[in-house]
Amino acid sequence: MLIEEKKETNTYISKYKEIQKYLKESLKHRNDTIKYWKENSIKYPTLYSIVRNVLSVASSSVEIERTFSGAKLLVTDNRSNLGWERIEQCVLLREWANFSRVDIVENSVIYNYSNISKMV
C-alpha cells in the first residue's frame, strides 16, 4: 500500500515538473501550434495527451450545437450581467466536467497540482 502511494506521488511530481519545465520554456518558437506539439510530444507526454484532446476538431455540428444550447441556458434574465468571458469559462468548465476520458476528481494533474507544489 505504501509503495503504491509512493509511486502515485512520484507520478504526480513528474507531471508537476513537466508542467514547470514547459512554463519556463521560451515562447519564441511556438508560432505553429500543431508543429510545436508534434516536435515536443516526447518531451512533454502528459501535456501532449491533453493538447491532443483540446486541439482535436469536432467531427459533427451536434457537439457545437449542444455547447451553444448550454450557453443559452446560462444567459437568462437573472444572469444578464454575465460578461462573455465568464460565460465562456462556465461553458468550458461544463464541457471539461462532461469529458468522459478525464477523471477530474482523482487523477487530474490540475487537481493534484497544488498538493505537489507543496511537496517539491
The set of residues, in sequence order, having a beta carbon less than 8 Å from that of 41 and lying 6+ positions away, is: 48
pLDDT, one tens digit per residue, over 60-99 is 666 777 777 777 777 777 777 777 788 778 777 777 776 5
Cα–Cα distance, 37 to 25 (Å, whole number): 13
pLDDT of 54 over the 70 cut: yes
End-to-end CA distance of the chain: 22
Average pLDDT of every residue of the chain: 72
pLDDT at 42 (0 to 100): 92
Q: Helical H runs in the chain? A: 2-24, 33-39, 45-55, 62-74, 84-98, 109-119
Model confidence band, residue 2 (pLDDT cutoffs 50, 70, 90): low
Q: 89 is written with which cell numbers?
A: 469559462
**pTM for the whole structure:** 0.43
Place of cell 501535456: 47
Model confidence band, residue 43 (pLDDT cutoffs 50, 70, 90): very high
| Annotated domain spans of the chain | 2-119
Q: How many CB atoms lie within 10 A of CB 16?
A: 20
pLDDT of 48 over the 80 cut: yes
Q: Is the dihedral of CA 115, 94, 98, 56 positive or negative?
A: negative
